[in-house]
């Protein structure tokens, strides 16, 4: 796991799942969220304040935390996933690029995987076969085996976890990454996470498709507000919609304050409208960038961010 630089605590960023549009979308893909953090043991680490930065395709989450345990740690239980086909926009759902610092210093967390074939935990079999557990992120999901004991391969085949493919095997299992991050023995500290964004995307024809009831709740947006922010003409092109959902909680605890900074290259931001909820349910709608904007999270501790850009493409 590659580590990084800066100062923050677990305001994780999970990326948004697209709300269903009432009218057909031209193109769409769901996001791949990074799960929220847990404390280990439970209820021993508490978020205080959180700062989220979205710059181009990167997310940085910084959080100050307090802890009450003797040997506190943070736990990230990654999503269980398998090969989803060549068209999957986010095959690497174990976030191999994730970088972490505690109080400004790089950390090497305890990093492991779990592999499953149906209801069967095949982690030890995959290890014994010396197969790449992350073969499922490749297309095709080929992996070699170095097991001396053929019984291991027979057990994997019987579990439906592999299929012979010439001299190699097709990985048919599901896998998840589990990261345990030991914290310093201090009442307060900061942790930082940085990783690539995996947001939801859709190309939509008109305003009515963008402003669904779900998006009204999540982003405090209205069709009138969207139209006035973009100053959109009826004959304009398709709308490029990007949705992030960023988890800021640890266990069931949310930070007392959450701020958002968002920026990108000038060409991308000059025609991009940004929508999110401010504290007390007020709305934020603007063009371009956001700098340390106080934001409101939902009842589950998720920060929702919507970006809508006009494109020159026309609907068929």
pLDDT in tens, 172-191: 999 999 999 999 988 899 99
Q: What is the mean pLDDT of residues 14-37?
A: 58
Q: Compute, in degrees rounded to 10, the torsion defined by CA atoms 100, 104, 105, 107.
A: -20
pLDDT surpasses 80 at 14: no
Give how far the C-alpha of residue 55 lies from the chain's centroid of Cα atoms, to the nearest Å.
14
Q: How confident is the model at residue 151 (pLDDT cuts 50, 70, 90)?
A: very high
pLDDT surpasses 60 at 105: yes
Task: Return the domain boundaries, the chain.
Answer: 27-72+183-310, 115-176
Count of residues for the chain? 316
pLDDT surpasses 60 at 42: yes
Please give the residue that has the higher pLDDT: either 80 or 205.
80
pLDDT surpasses 80 at 67: yes
- Name the fold adopted by 27-72+183-310: Immunoglobulin-like (2.60.40)
pLDDT number for residue 12: 45
Q: How confident is the model at residue 311 (pLDDT cuts 50, 70, 90)?
A: confident
Q: Are 221 and 11 in contact (CB under 8 A)?
A: no
pLDDT number for residue 231: 80
Distance CA 119, CA 123 (A): 12
pLDDT number for residue 236: 64
In three-state secondary structure terms, 230 is: helix
Over its C-alpha atoms, the chain yields an Rg (Å, rounded) of 22
pLDDT surpasses 60 at 27: no
Q: Are 71 and 186 in contact (CB under 8 A)?
A: no
- pLDDT tens digits, 251-269: 989 999 999 999 876 445 5
pLDDT number for residue 284: 94
pLDDT number for residue 315: 56
Query: Average pLDDT, whole number, for the chain?
Result: 87
Please give the residue that has the higher pLDDT: either 302 or 19.
302
Please give the residue that has the higher pLDDT: either 12 or 141.
141
Please give the residue that has the higher pLDDT: either 7 or 315.
315
């Amino acid at each position: 796991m590659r580590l990084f630089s800066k100062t923050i605590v677990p305001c994780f960023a999970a990326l948004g799942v697209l709300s269903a549009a009432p009218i057909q979308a031209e193109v769409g893909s769901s996001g791949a969220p990074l799960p929220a953090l847990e404390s280990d043991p439970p209820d021993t680490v508490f978020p205080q304040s959180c700062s989220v930065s979205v710059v181009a395709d990167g997310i940085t989450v910084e959080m100050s935390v307090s802890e009450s345990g003797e040997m506190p740690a943070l736990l990230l239980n990654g999503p269980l996933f398998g090969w989803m086909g060549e068209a999957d926009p986010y095959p690497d759902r174990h976030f191999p690029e994730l970088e972490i610092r505690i109080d400004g210093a790089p950390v090497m967390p305890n990093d492991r995987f779990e592999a499953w074939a149906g209801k069967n935990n095949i982690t030890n079999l995959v290890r014994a076969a010396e197969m790449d557990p992350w073969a499922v992120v490749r297309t095709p999901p080929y992996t070699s085996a170095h097991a001396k004991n053929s019984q291991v391969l027979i057990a994997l085949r019987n579990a439906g976890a592999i299929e012979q493919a010439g001299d190699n095997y097709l990985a048919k299992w599901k896998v998840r990454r589990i990261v345990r991050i030991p914290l310093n023995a201090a009442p307060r500290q900061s942790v930082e996470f940085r990783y690539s964004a995996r947001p939801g995307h859709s190309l939509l024809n008109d305003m009515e498709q963008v402003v669904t009831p779900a998006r009204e709740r999540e982003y405090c947006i209205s069709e009138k507000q969207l139209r006035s922010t973009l100053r959109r003409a009826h004959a304009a092109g398709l709308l490029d919609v990007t949705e992030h959902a960023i988890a800021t909680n640890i266990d069931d605890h949310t930070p007392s304050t959450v701020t958002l900074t968002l920026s990108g290259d000038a060409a991308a931001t000059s025609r991009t409208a940004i929508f999110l909820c401010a504290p007390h349910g007020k709305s934020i709608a603007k063009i371009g960038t956001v700098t340390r904007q106080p934001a409101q999270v939902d009842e589950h501790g998720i920060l929702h961010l919507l970006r809508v850009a006009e494109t020159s493409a026309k609907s068929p």
